[in-house]
Amino acid sequence: MFRLGPILVTILAATYPITAVPTADDPCAKIAGKAFVPPADALACEKSFPFNETLRQNVLNNIARVFDFFTFEEFYLNSPPPFQESTADIRARLAEINSTTFETDYDFNIAVYDFTTQLNDGHTRYFPDCYTSFQNVLPAPFINIELDGEQGVFVAFDSVDFISLLGPEYTDFFDSINFDWKRLAGAQVLEIEGQAPYDYADFIAKTVSGNYLDHGVRVNSVFTSYRISGTNFSQRLGDLAGPTGVKQTSLNVKLITANSTEEETVDIPYLANFIGVNFTDAETFWSRNCAANDSTNGVDFSASGSSFRAGGNVVERASRRARGVIVDKSNSSAIGLPQQFEPTIPSVDGSTGVIKNFLLPDNETGVMFVGSFEPDDFDQFQTDVVDAIDSFKAAGVTRLLIDLTNNGGGFVCLGQFLFQYLAGAKIGYPGFVSTNRANPLAQKIVAADIARGLNSTLTFYSPDNWAALNDTLFPENFDYIDPPAPFEVNGVQDPTSQRFHDTCELGFSQDVPEEPPFPPENLAIGNCASTCAMFSTLMNERLGTKIAVFGGKPGENVEFKGMAGNQVLEWSDLDSEIKTAHVKDDPLAPPDLLVSSNMRHNWRTAWSWLNESVPIAYLSELPMFRFNYTKDTVVNPQNLWIFATSQMFS
Enumerate binding residues for ligand NAG (CB under 6 A). 14-15, 17-19, 52, 54-55, 60-61, 64, 94-95, 98, 129, 146, 150-151, 183, 185-186, 227, 229-232, 258-259, 277-278, 289, 293-295, 312, 328, 331, 361-363, 408, 455-457, 468, 470, 472, 554, 594, 596, 611, 613-614, 626-628
| Measured CA distances, 164 to 179, 337, 339 (Å) | 14, 11, 12
Phi, psi torsion values for 221, nearest 5 degrees = -75, -10
Q: How far is the CB of 469 from ligand NAG (least distance, A)?
A: 7
Phi, psi torsion values for 163, nearest 5 degrees = -65, -30
Given the complex with ligand NAG, which of 145 and 422 has the nearer CB atom? 145
Which residues, at least 6 apart from 171, have a Cβ–Cβ distance to it below 8 Å? 139, 163, 164, 181
Given the complex with ligand NAG, which of 14 and 422 has the nearer CB atom? 14
Which residues, at least 6 apart from 267, have a Cβ–Cβ distance to it below 8 Å? 250, 251, 252, 253
Q: How far is the CB of 515 from ligand NAG (least distance, A)?
A: 26
Q: How far is the CB of 44 from ligand NAG (least distance, A)?
A: 19
Given the complex with ligand NAG, which of 194 and 475 has the nearer CB atom? 475
Q: How far apart are CA 256 and CA 262, in angstroms?
A: 6
Q: Which of 352, 301, 561 is nearest to 457 (CA)?
A: 301
Q: Which amino acid is at 346?
A: P
Q: How far is the CB of 513 from ligand NAG (least distance, A)?
A: 25
Q: Minimal CB distance to ligand NAG: which residue?
A: 230
Cβ neighbours of 88 (radius 10 Å): 17
Q: How far is the CB of 241 from ligand NAG (least distance, A)?
A: 16
Q: How far apart are CA 575 and CA 570, in angstroms?
A: 9
Are the CB atoms for 363 and 330 separated by under 8 Å? no
Given the complex with ligand NAG, which of 422 and 573 has the nearer CB atom? 573
Given the complex with ligand NAG, which of 249 and 302 has the nearer CB atom? 302
Given the complex with ligand NAG, which of 88 and 94 has the nearer CB atom? 94
Q: How far is the CB of 223 from ligand NAG (least distance, A)?
A: 15
Q: What is the DSSP string of 414-442?
A: HHHHHHHHHH-GGG---S-EEEEB--HHH
Given the complex with ligand NAG, which of 227 and 604 has the nearer CB atom? 227
Given the complex with ligand NAG, which of 229 and 540 has the nearer CB atom? 229
Omega of the bond leading into 519 within 30 degrees of 0 (cis): no
Given the complex with ligand NAG, which of 131 and 170 has the nearer CB atom? 131
Q: Tell me the Cα Rg of the chain.
A: 24
Q: How far apart are CA 203 and CA 189, in angstroms?
A: 16
Given the complex with ligand NAG, which of 232 and 557 has the nearer CB atom? 232
3-state SS class at 542? helix
Q: How far apart are CA 522 and CA 645, in angstroms?
A: 11
Q: How far is the CB of 447 from ligand NAG (least distance, A)?
A: 18
Q: Which of 44, 104, 40 is nearest to 272 (CA)?
A: 40
Q: How far is the CB of 106 from ligand NAG (least distance, A)?
A: 14
3-state SS class at 637? helix
Q: How far is the CB of 258 from ligand NAG (least distance, A)?
A: 4
Q: How far is the CB of 153 from ligand NAG (least distance, A)?
A: 11
Q: Which of 69, 574, 591, 66 is nearest to 299 (CA)?
A: 574
Given the complex with ligand NAG, which of 470 and 515 has the nearer CB atom? 470
Cross-strand bridge partners of residue 462 = none
Q: How far is the CB of 62 from ligand NAG (least distance, A)?
A: 9
Burial of 61 per CB tally in 10 Å (0-12, 13-18, 19+): middle
